[in-house]
A and B are shown apart, each in its own frame.
Chain A
Amino acid sequence: MNNFSYTPAATAKEALGLRKDTKEAAFIAGGTTLLDLMKANVEAHPQLIDINQLPFKGIQETADGLRIGALERMSDVGENALVMQQYPVIAEALLLSASPQLRNMASIGGNLLQRTRCGYFRDPAFPCNKRNPGSGCPAQVGDNRNLAILGTSEACIATNPGDLAVALVALDAVVVLENAKGKQRRVPLLDFHLLPGTTPQRETILEPDELIVAVTVPAAAHARKSHYVKVRDRASYAFALVSAAVGLEVQGGQIRSARLALGGVGTKPWRALEAEKMLVGRAATEETFRTAAAAAVRGAQPREHNRFKVEMAQKTLVQALQELMAS
């Protein structure tokens, strides 16, 4: 870890101003991603700008849905009555994440920006295209059990490890960003994270002079009837091997609308749009679910140790849909 200075900011303007002054400075919210990476010498920042005093708070019902401030803590959002009742997939994804201690610290904005758990990325002794562009990707032929099968490239196969983003991307969430000039823009979460391509070091469309202010989620029947299933190596406190976020609107046994996303398998939170199309208008049967699940992993490019994810992802998706129908 390098020496760094620490500056609390009182307003977004101040925080962004400080960021502009010091290239390579970083915002710190809960610090649960940032400090880990700094201690491992994966990231080095000369200055940390504490944004916890910024007014990016609140879990509110708006005219067209839900608005969550970027500095709300994972635990508060996961245990919020509105979220639990109207957007259960979000609450479930949050409460199946990390540990209570981490959830009490970690913020929603920080969660969307957490970085891959790829072991090569997290240890600077290894080459890694994401951490050190052009140095190579040992994971392709190495320890890739936890890495992605969808959206991969020759440069990088790192999984986006988060749970919340999977639930949010399923529900068409929008990220609200603000820049130094006080200008806001709204970006669908689907477009927020980038595929690795040849530039795996670039993970989101967030500009250096931008802050995440909030996340909004449109209200919908498929949000009210939604569910998250996470499969992992131990019963708690582990990242997903695979996970599925599902939402359905069903009338008279027929699916009116569907939302599907997969975690643990994609280089970004993986929305399964094709699979959704295969559900709409069909009867909510296991048969239908299986067909959709097969579509969801079409084009998967597994490596030696993560081949199992192709099947596990489908089974998890089917299980999530079945449990949702049974609930």
Chain B
Amino acid sequence: MDNEPAFFETNGPGTGGIVGQPLDRVDGFAKVTGQAKYSAEYKLPGLTYGVLRTSEIARGKIQSIDTSVAAKEPGVLAILTHLNLPKLAKTPNDPDSKKAIGAPMGFLPLTSDQVHYAGQPVALVVADTYDRAVHAASLVKVNYAVEKPVVSFLDPKAQVFDPEKVQDGKTPGHTRRGNPQEAFAASPIQLTATYEHAINHHNPMEPGATTAVWEGPDRVTVYESTQGVTRTQKALSAMLGLPTEQVRVVTKYLGGGFGCKGSTWPHTILTVQAAKAVGRPVRLSLTRPQQFTSMGHREDQHQTLKLGATREGRLTALIHEKTSTTSPWDNYAEPNSRIINLLYNCPAFESTYQLGRANVMTSTFTRAPGEAPGSFAIECSMDDLAAQLGIDPLQIRLLNYADKDPTNGKPWSSKSLKQCYARGAELFGWSKRNPKNGATRQGRYLMGMGMATASYPVHNNQGTARIRLYADGHALVQTGATDLGTGTYTVMTQVAADSLGIAPDKVRFELGDTRLPTAPNSGGSVAAGTVSSSIYMAAQDVWQKLTKLAIQDKKSPLYRAKAADVVAEKGRLVLKTDKTKGEDFMALMKRADMPDIEGSGQGKYGAGYETGRAPGPADSGHEDDKGGHSMHSFGVHFCEVRVDPEVGTVRVTRWVSVHGAGRILNAKTARSQIIGGSIFGIGNALMEETFRDPNLARYTNASLGEYHIPVNADIPDMTVEFIDEHDPYINAMGVKGIGEISMVGVAAAVANAVFHATGKRIRSLPITPDKVMNSLAV
């Protein structure tokens, strides 16, 4: 259904008084009472249980695999290995097919005897109970011809190369703007610094999980823990060689994703094949250790940033190099350079990516992929520049403020960063900051204040929604979006209620099913903007139809009015000029003997309906609208830390985040998003690190006992505010999305606060007590 003329303006987005309210989560009750069904909780008739047996070694060949003992265990129904996996129409092993599938990893386990990484599935055991499957999986005997693995890009054995493109072809391996080398050489101030990042894992509360049921010989339903049912459907139908309509993917609830559920990983298709093999539904849920080797991670990486500036502190050149570990097949690297290129006004920029192949699985998007580590580099270096020149860190950022997008000279669709800085500084008490580093004591502790800028692009996307409005006053609103647990159910209910002029409890909102209209992946912070816009547009479609009905209905007060003179307000159609004249939709529909009416709408990027789209700058990874706007959200984090100068422990004691991210759909869930993202970033800054054994290339702390994420005691009260921002260009609802900007700059804000507290700069994440203690000893 085409919505082009939807400029037909019946009511403005978010004018119903419901959007923006701190509505409690509509799915809260279902979740706390256990009624919300996650993908591994469907009790289907004849359900069986799949358990993966994964490889102990990181590199080698399977010489033999003996399933005979395991197969004799009671309840065992099938054991899939590379010798008997039911054949697939396509596998990602072939680069062309990989593209068609949209798989993140160019290798599917159980398709060959090669072992490429520790934790690679080598068998899948299906049994009638979970415990029997677990036990049988442990009885599968695998003999390997073991080879010495390559551990990381730092391993002398690693093949390090300059990729033409990284991130699955989305980002060029080399970008240049102006004359960076010359500009840097000529700069009176030159800073060169190298930043190190540990491997990070997403670790959503809910691990990856699949329940697959074949409804017929060529028709399958998959309950999947995914951030996007449509993308999963596409991947599965390509691999199975089935038309998309014959593959249904359902995700009603998701226990977090953070990017690792943004694409289709091997365990999903293997479960689907297992269900085919046993002819019964199969449920497979990754264990926590398996989670560390099944759905990607944030790669280990080094970044070197050269920053040239004038003596006054104006940037003259930025040269960024990143080297990171990738898998034997894929050229994945987070696009760190994007934010470094964009954040400040700088005439010359260059970025280069290098990759080292190692025996690891492919890394993948992890909350704010590229922006998070990229901002760590640029925001620490900006802080260094400020310190070197004796300028306040906030001032140095204002001095280099980018009034236009420096990558392409385009105006911003909106940018409230100056207001964010000002409000944040006020809330935080930035003016009280001691200009001297290492000079603020509180008892035995050193105190420090740091800040960093955040930014995240509004990515190109679109999606569709459908509304059925009933004459009794309620509505069914549907779209195939997913709710990561962040509040999509709630905010979309609000948007529907707001644009239909009915109470939120009159809205039944459904998502997470490929049978519903297509919505984008919930990733790249696109869901809120795109899905809300599609619902708003669908409501406009409904109003348009109702207006047509009203002006042709002799009994309507609006009979013979011009459609353009009619506006919808709080569920009523009224005359713009005389709002007492009109009627509510229920009266209209009942009179017309119309039990319900349907509308559908498309939410587009770049307010798409406006001027269409044009390619953006080469390395921006997104497209700008033809109106010539660059679309990003901006914000700032302020952080206070308390450092123990003896043993080096760092505690965050105060936190202020202020963001300008377009329209905020729900004050409460938005605040929670920013808090969650900031805590995610504090984990990245202070403790998250997966350790890969330097000889065996296997993780040594693949559990939540040993892989530390923040606990409540690590987190202070957090202050979060938003700047009121109206952006008419980004999409119909003017929503930019906040899932990822919340974590951008966080690690730098913490590191800068540590620098302020101690006078020592730590460029290696995470900033653990030993690093701080050692830095203070010299």
Contact = CB atoms under 8 A, between A and B. Distances in A.
A10 to B, nearest CB: 28
Interface string B114-127: 00001000000000
Nearest to A142: B693
Interface in A281-325: 308, 311-312, 315-316, 318-319
A142 B710 contact: no
Contact of B135 (A2, A124, A231, A311): A2
B298 to A, nearest CB: 18
B708 interface: yes
Nearest to A242: B647
B135 A315 contact: no
A75 B701 CA distance: 27
Interface stretch (B354-362, B530-538, B558-566, B769-777): B769-777
Contacts of B66: none
Nearest to A119: B700
Given A125-B118, A312-B647, A312-B770, A236 B693 contact: no
B674 interface: no
Contacts of B57: 125
A319 B705 CA distance: 27
A105 to B, nearest CB: 15
Contact of A312 (B56, B693, B769): B769
A18 B383 CA distance: 66
Interface centre among A2, A124, A237 (most CB of B within 10 A): A237
Interface in A220-243: 231-238, 241-242
Interface string A199-210: 000000000000
A1 B711 contact: no
Interface in A128-152: 138, 141-143, 145-146
B693 A126 contact: yes
A308 B57 CA distance: 31
A315 B770 CA distance: 12
A126 B698 contact: yes
Given A3-B135, A123-B700, A142-B694, A233 B646 contact: no
A234 B693 contact: no
Given A1-B135, A125-B56, A236-B712, A308 B773 contact: yes
A40 B686 CA distance: 28
A109 B702 CA distance: 28
Nearest to B709: A234
Interface string B702-721: 11011010111110000000
Contacts of A45: none
B649 interface: yes
A76 B148 CA distance: 50
A138 B693 contact: yes
B702 A123 contact: yes
B387 to A, nearest CB: 26
B400 interface: no
A84 B213 CA distance: 57
Interface string B751-778: 0000000000000000011100110010
Interface in B700-753: 700-703, 705-706, 708, 710-714
Interface centre among A119, A141, A318 (most CB of B within 10 A): A119
A241 B770 contact: yes
Contacts of B713: 234-237
B302 interface: no
A241 B693 contact: no
Given A143-B691, A319-B647, A1 B131 contact: yes
A254 interface: no
A257 B57 CA distance: 53
Contacts of B694: 141-142
Given A123-B702, A234-B686, A237-B713, 8 more contacts: A1-B135, A125-B698, A141-B694, A231-B647, A232-B649, A241-B770, A308-B774, A315-B646
Interface of A: 1-3, 40-41, 117, 119-120, 122-126, 138, 141-143, 145-146, 231-238, 241-242, 308, 311-312, 315-316, 318-319
7 smallest CB-CB distances across A and B, nearest first, come from: A119-B700, A125-B56, A235-B713, A308-B770, A236-B713, A143-B700, A315-B646
